[in-house]
């Protein structure tokens, strides 16, 4: 596990790991859990990937967690995101999820990547998505 993590991040990782167990992934067999914390909101929101035979209807754990948070507290800036999968080298959010994350844009937002053993890496959003597709209002 990365060192010097805040206790709330460690707790959110543990709950994302638990949410991962609820994954419905009969096609990929790739379970993912996620946690999102919004700035100024005490509650952390969790999600897991939910697949569908019509692959376009599948939702990733990250978007599932974000949508849960938006449904509960409305649009807020994200404080951090955690993604947990069973991979030695943890996986980052996919491009669709990164686009959704950019709607709650803070380029310095940490994205923690973990596996079953703990949080292994941390990236800033701007490192993973240096040129977001947003703010194109005419």
Residues carrying an active site annotation: 62
Task: Give alpha helix (H) positions in the chain.
Answer: 7-20, 61-73, 95-102, 125-128
Contact 93, 86 (CB under 8 A): no
DSSP structure class, residue 55? G
Q: In a 3-state reduction of DSSP, which class is residue 99?
A: helix
């Amino acid at each position: 596990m990365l060192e010097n993590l805040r206790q709330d991040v460690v707790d959110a990782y543990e709950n994302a790991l638990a949410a991962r167990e609820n994954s419905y992934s009969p096609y990929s067999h790739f379970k993912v859990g996620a946690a999102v914390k919004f700035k100024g909101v005490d509650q952390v929101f969790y999600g897991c990937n939910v697949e569908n035979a019509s692959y376009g209807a599948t939702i990733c754990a990250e978007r599932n967690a974000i949508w849960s948070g938006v449904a509960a507290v409305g649009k807020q800036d994200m404080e951090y995101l955690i993604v947990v999968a069973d991979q030695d080298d943890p996986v980052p959010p996919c491009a669709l999820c990164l686009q959704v994350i950019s709607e709650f844009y803070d380029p310095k937002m940490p994205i923690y990547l973990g596996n079953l053993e703990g949080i292994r890496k941390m990236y800033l959003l701007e490192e993973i998505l240096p040129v977001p597709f947003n703010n194109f209002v005419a």
